[in-house]
Amino acid sequence: MEWIKLDASLIAEGLNEKEAAHLLQLRSGADPVPGICAGLAARIRAAVAAGGRCHLQGGADSIPAALRGEAVALLVVKLLVRYAINISDPRKAEAEKAEERLDAIAKGELPLTDDGVAAAPTYTGRPQRWCHPGAGGVMRKGGLHFPH
């Protein structure tokens, strides 16, 4: 599975021109984007780790590419809330769906695996040996007995 870096470059994917222009006017002083990205990456990585079927890769800011859409939806809403910009109902619904998907991944209801295939359980045990129990086998003393 491919992993990508969650950073400010993803913001452009989720904002329209009007929102982007308004956001640029409001940004001043300390930039909250790196902190928001770091928190969101931690949230996504925690959900993936809790699901238990995918090994975390990359640095603390890396997320699975399969969750890029969810990351963009949540990142944009967090930024708009931070700058008190009006959030449309479709955008809120998209962010809620992204949160629900992350929760499902964390609970294991929506498997996210390294190879794209759902993991199958593996059963192991010691091989049966057809010899006497004293030697670690499964046969009774005296060999096999069949009813007549």
Three-state SS at 20: helix
Distance, C-alpha 72 to centroid of its chain: 14
Which of the two residues, 68 and 111, has the higher pLDDT score?
68
pTM of the model: 0.72
Helix, strand counts (H, E) of the chain: 5, 2
Tens digit of pLDDT for each residue in 104-143? 999 988 887 776 555 555 556 666 566 656 666 666 555 5
**Mean pLDDT of the 57-81 span:** 92
Bridge partners, 4 (sequence order):
63
C-alpha distances (whole Å) from 22 to each of 53, 82, 93 are 41, 13, 22
**Residue 13: is its pLDDT beyond 90?**
no
Residue 68: the pLDDT is: 93
**Residue 44: is its pLDDT beyond 90?**
yes
Residue whose pair of structure tokens reads 């619904």 in the numeric block: 93
**Residue 144: is its pLDDT beyond 70?**
no
| Calpha distance 93→111 (Å, rounded) | 22
Bridge partners, 73 (sequence order):
none
The percentage of residues in the chain with a pLDDT greater than 90, rounded to a whole number, is 38
**Mean pLDDT of the 5-17 span:** 86
Q: How crowded is residue 44: how many other Cβ atoms within 10 Å of its Cβ? A: 23
| Calpha distance 48→80 (Å, rounded) | 25
